[in-house]
Amino acid sequence: MNTHATAPAPLARRLEGRVAVVTGAAHGIGRGIAERLAAEGAHVVIADIDEAGAGKVAADLGNGATAARVDIADPASVAALANAIEARHGRCEILVNNAAILDVAGIATMTFTHYRSILDINQDGAIRMTLALLPLIRKAGPGRRILNIASIQGLRGTRDSLAYATAKGALVNFTRALACDLADEGIVVNALAPGYIDTRMAQLPDGAGHEHDAAWFRDIYIEHGRIPLRRPGKPVDIAGPAFFLCSDDARYVTGQILPVDGGLSATF
């Protein structure tokens, strides 16, 4: 058996010339997805509330990548982004709804105002973006895709994640229902449900490092195999499945929620 590592195969640039919009792409999972789509030939719009961070990513990617500031909780900001994309490209083949914020509030400290503020971004933001970009997706040619980034927390209950888990659960069924609505138009809609991924969201709120470095996490999830692959994921681990669902290989896949979690959901 050959035990030597082999170089990855060169990318086939299977998204050549397609316009892809990725929200929350200045960092983390969104950046990982944007990098892969750009490497496959897409012209990626790096859409993020962090305008400077988005600009840096766009400069790093090249291939016609552009940066755009968007606040997905603000209807006017979302509409302005849609208008800018229409003016520059006239269409959009791929929309990746990735932008979200972490929240660790449980029912003991929850207020309705706080609850709605989380849903306004993590749930309604994806819906705003979809409604705003759908006319441009309808103008596009083959390969029209909407990909929502949900979470394994949208597939199960968990402590101290009331608003976050509710929003991600809504995004799961939004994906399924939207896929049914758009199937006759040939627009494919799917979602990824990441598990524990090494991003800024994994930073512990007390500044004591990353969640997956904590003793309790390593004991339960790594040492005792609650994550069968025994490691947290990286943004690149999400980028590959995201590319698949945005590619022509996924033309007969719609309304599906794919966990990308190192096997964690298999142990539920």
Among 172, 194, 161, CA closest to 262: 194
Which residue among the candidates 115, 164, 221, 252 is catalytic per the annotation?
164
Tokens of 93: 């083949």
Is residue 164 among the annotated active site residues?
yes
User: Do residues 260 and 225 lie in contact, with contact meaning Cβ atoms separated by under 8 Å?
Assistant: no
| Alpha-carbon span 122 to 109, nearest angstrom | 19
Q: Which amino acid is at 177?
A: A
User: Do residues 196 and 203 lie in contact, with contact meaning Cβ atoms separated by under 8 Å?
Assistant: no
Q: 261: Cβ–Cβ under 8 A, 6 or more apart, which residues?
A: 152, 193, 194, 195, 196, 227, 233
Which segments of 21-161 does DSSP mark as H helices, in order? Answer: 28-39, 51-61, 75-88, 112-122, 124-139
Cross-strand partners of 48: 69
Q: Which residues are catalytic?
A: 164
